[in-house]
């Protein structure tokens, strides 16, 4: 193995360890939030449960709320929207991208997603932070739409399609948590889009 291969292997091991630590912090945080409540759980407790220091926690998450709200889906949504067929309506592009991500995540992370949205549902601080974070996600989706002819990230129609699609996913997720996961989230997301799409198509 030459020096380049050795360096690449070392970087790969470091990335895997970093990802494993991040996942442990996330797992223990959700457990502690469920057991003790969000407000009563400290960063120090989460770090100790994961077997790391609180400084290590902050190398992965800037604040406690980000353990619940941060994921890697925003960039994926942007890329998937950009890959949709050019002739699709903007809202359909967003719908297709959201369902693609759900198909990747939901089958193996259903319980984790449900715990996360339960926390958001019952924690006012997380509800507020989720709303703030949605603005960033909305802009990234609009950027994905802007790669298609006739769309501009700064145009109100493009931003409206991004916001409407994200609102469908959020409303479905909160209702899913409110019903304690008795439904399947992808089905609720479909129902949310179906309720909105005829109104958009009719120009209402």
Domains 3-66 and 71-199 share a fold: no
Q: pLDDT tens across 59-101, in order?
A: 999 999 999 998 878 999 999 999 999 999 999 999 999 999 9
Say what percent of the chain tops pLDDT 70: 90
Give me the pLDDT at residue 2, please: 58
pLDDT above 50 for 12 = yes
Alpha carbons 56 and 74: distance in angstroms, whole number: 24
pTM beyond cutoff 0.75: yes
Give me the pLDDT at residue 92, please: 96
Q: Quick one: average pLDDT of 113-141?
A: 94
Give me the pLDDT at residue 149, please: 94
Give me the pLDDT at residue 204, please: 41
Cα 143 to Cα 27, 79, 121, 138: the distances in Å are 32, 9, 28, 9
Alpha carbons 178 and 84: distance in angstroms, whole number: 32
| CATH tag for 71-199 (out of 3.90.1200.10, 1.10.357.10, 1.10.260.40, 3.30.2010.10) | 1.10.357.10
CB-CB neighbours of 157 under 10 Å: 13
Alpha carbons 149 and 157: distance in angstroms, whole number: 13
Instruction: Domain ranges for the chain, please list them.
Output: 3-66, 71-199
With beta carbons less than 8 A apart as the criterion, state whether 191 and 168 touch.
no
Provide the pLDDT confidence category of residue 197 given band limits of 50, 70 and 90.
confident
With beta carbons less than 8 A apart as the criterion, state whether 68 and 120 touch.
yes
Give me the pLDDT at residue 181, please: 97
Question: Any idea which fold 3-66 has?
Answer: Arc Repressor Mutant, subunit A (1.10.10)
């Amino acid at each position: 193995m030459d020096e380049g291969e050795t360096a690449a292997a070392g970087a790969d091991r470091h990335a895997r360890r970093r990802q494993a630590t991040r996942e442990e912090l996330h797992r223990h945080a959700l457990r502690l939030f469920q057991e003790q409540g969000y407000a009563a759980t400290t960063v120090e407790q989460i770090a100790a449960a994961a077997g790391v220091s609180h400084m290590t926690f902050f190398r992965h998450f800037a604040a406690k709320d980000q353990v619940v709200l941060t994921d890697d889906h925003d960039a994926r949504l942007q890329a998937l929207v950009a890959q949709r067929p050019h002739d699709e309506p903007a809202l359909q592009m967003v719908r297709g991208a959201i369902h693609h991500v759900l198909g990747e995540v939901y089958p193996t992370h259903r319980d984790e997603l449900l715990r996360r949205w339960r926390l958001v549902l019952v924690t006012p601080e997380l509800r507020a932070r989720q709303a703030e974070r949605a603005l960033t996600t909305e802009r990234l989706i609009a950027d994905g739409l802007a790669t298609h002819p006739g769309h501009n990230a700064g145009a109100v129609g493009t931003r409206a399609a991004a916001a409407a699609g994200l609102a469908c996913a959020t409303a479905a997720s909160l209702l899913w948590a409110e019903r304690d996961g008795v439904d399947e989230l992808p089905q609720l997301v479909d129902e949310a889009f179906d309720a909105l799409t005829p109104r958009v198509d009719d120009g209402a």
